[in-house]
Amino acid sequence: MSYQDQGRRPRSGSSRTAGSSSRQYTGGARARVPSSGVYHGPTGTRTRPKSSLRGSGGRGGYPLRSRSINFQGNRNRILGLDRRLVILGALAIVLLVLVIVGVSTCVRSCSGGDGSGTQTGQGDVRVAAGLPEELATAFTDELNRSDKLASIAANADKYGDQGLLELALSVPEAIDFVAAYPTTEKTAQPYEDAVTKGTAPQLWCWDARWGNVDYAGRALALTGSGPTALSMAYMGLTGATDQTPADIAQAATEAQAATGDSAMTAEFLVSESEKLGLRCESFASNADNLAQMLDSGTYVLMETKAGSLTSAAHWILVTTENEDGSMQVSDPTSPAVSAHPWAPATLASTCTDFYVLSVPGSDDDSADGTDDGASDSTSESDTSYE
């Protein structure tokens, strides 16, 4: 009979072929599945056992196997992976990162000391092994300064004076002081280091023993070059340490002399020197005068102009004359200025007058002859000073 659909109508394109049990379609021939208990499945053609046939009337068919369907399976998979495995992997990665960060922080805090050791480069994990000890220590110091400079930048809003931030940037030696400034008490401490009479110690304005106290409206670390220079001269001439920069700054404040571009007047220098038991004389600034006045028993204080040795006006102390005629300077504001000798003419050009300090009655004090020679030199200074 002809192939019909449910409406009992012949399907278009179908035809009946006599004597044949197969059906034909316009799209190509397809073999009919025989009803003799043989079926075609994914694994090939095989014969069903009679005992497995189901249905009434002995009609052929194949058994349906019960199989559970997991409707949640796709929801528990991410990109083909089990969701629980993905979550556990992520947690493991987070835990590993936390362990690495904790170990790194512990190592840095434990090795953040001076970086020194008998075996070079092994005191600080930030420095490779094998370097000479001096070089490895220098690297450690610079790395520590970088960490502290980063801390200063992060807490810049805690500094009421921008000059302290500029100090940290321009003078690496002052970074430790500036980093600790916001939390340090603004009180002075005594100077307890050993001092040898005849040798002026190198003092810095930002020393933690006095740099935090207020002077001339700011931290002494920024304004205390005058008191610090006078304190160095006093200690070197007398060998005593009872007059620190903070002590002299207090005297200048009480005398209302903490004024001017350098935050200490020359008049106070003369009067305070006498109170400290020193002789203080002023001379016109030129190279000849400076070379003549500087002797083994004297020191010279200069109020240098802004833009000469440094960008700001401040006081310096000239301590010794070298064999080649150059002079050594102790600048309380600049390690760079203090690090090398200077020509007398260069120093003389930084100020209008300089002040010679000595101890009265010392063997090197020849006031009468010195004054006369100074007067002659002063008269020549109008033509020799540039």
218 shares its domain with 252:
yes
Element (H, E) at 77: strand 77-78
Instruction: Look up tokens 């002075």; give the residue.
Output: 188
In a shared domain, residues 162 and 196 = no
159 and 258 together in one domain: no
Tokens of 281: 């004389």
What residue has token string 């058994």? 63
SS3 35: coil
Single residue among 184, 218, 246 that ends a domain in this structure: 184
Q: How many domains does the chain have?
A: 2
pLDDT at site 56: 46
CA-based radius of gyration for the chain: 47
Residue ending a domain, among 184, 203, 219, is 184
Structural domain span for residue 256: 188-384
In this structure, the answer to whether residues 342 and 217 fall within a common structural domain is yes
Which residue, of 184, 217, 232, is where some domain finishes?
A: 184
Q: Is 53 exposed, middle or buried (0-12, 13-18, 19+ CB in 10 A)?
A: middle
Are 307 and 348 contained in the same domain?
A: yes
Cα dist. 206→164, 265, 335 in Å?
A: 10, 21, 12
**Do residues 356 and 283 lie in contact, with contact meaning Cβ atoms separated by under 8 Å?**
yes
Residues 6+ apart with CB under 8 A from 64: none
Question: Please, is 256 exposed, middle or buried when counting C-beta atoms within 10 Å of its C-beta (0-12, 13-18, 19+)?
Answer: exposed
Classify residue 64 by its DSSP letter.
P
Contact, 328 vs 318, CB < 8 A? yes
In the prediction, which pLDDT does 70 show? 55
Q: Could you tell me if residue 104 is inside a domain? A: no
Residue 165: its H or E element: helix 162-170
Q: Please give the pLDDT value at position 368.
A: 44
In three-state secondary structure terms, 89 is helix
Say if residue 169 is in the same domain as residue 195: no
User: Does residue 2 sit within a domain?
Assistant: no
- Which uninterrupted H or E stretch holds 366? none
What integer pLDDT is reported at residue 386 of this predicted model?
Answer: 31
Same domain, 359 and 232: yes
Give dist(CA 272, CA 252) in Å, integer. Answer: 8
Cα–Cα distance between 172 and 25 in angstroms, integer?
95
**What integer pLDDT is reported at residue 12 of this predicted model?**
52
Report which of 313, 289, 308, 299 is spatially closest to residue 349, judged by C-alpha positions. Answer: 308
pLDDT of residue 142: 82
HSE-CB of 239 using CA atoms within 13 angstroms: 4
Q: Which residue has the tokens 């920069």?
A: 245
Rounded to 10°, the helix 162-170/133-154 angle is 160
3-state helix/strand/coil string of 276-338: CCCEEEEEECCHHHHHHHCCCCEEEEEEECCCCCCCCCEEEEEEEECCCCCEEEECCCCHHHH
Is 128 inside any structural domain? yes
Q: Which residues of the chain have pLDDT under 70?
A: 1-81, 103-123, 362-386
**Structure-token pair, residue 198:** 């005849």
Q: Which residues contact 139 (CB under 8 A, 6 or more apart)?
A: 115, 124, 126, 127, 131
Q: Are 136 and 143 in contact (CB under 8 A)?
A: no
Written as six digits, the tokens of 166 are 């500029």
Same structural domain, 275 and 209: yes
The C-alpha angle with vertex 17 and arms to 13 and 20, in degrees rounded to 5, equals 130
The answer to whether residue 335 sits within a structural domain is: yes
Q: What backbone phi and psi angles, to 5 degrees, belong to 39?
A: -135, 160
In 3D, which of 160, 165, 210 has the Cα closest to residue 189? 210
Instruction: Identify whether residues 157 and 231 lie together within a single domain.
Output: no
CB 283 within 8 A of CB 293: yes
324 and 298 inside one domain: yes
Are residues 171 and 142 part of one domain? yes
- The pLDDT, as a whole number, for residue 30 is 52
For residue 221, the model assigns a pLDDT of 98
Handedness of CA 157, 161, 162, 164 (dihedral sign): negative
Q: Indicate the pTM of the whole model.
A: 0.62
Q: Do 216 and 358 belong to one domain?
A: yes
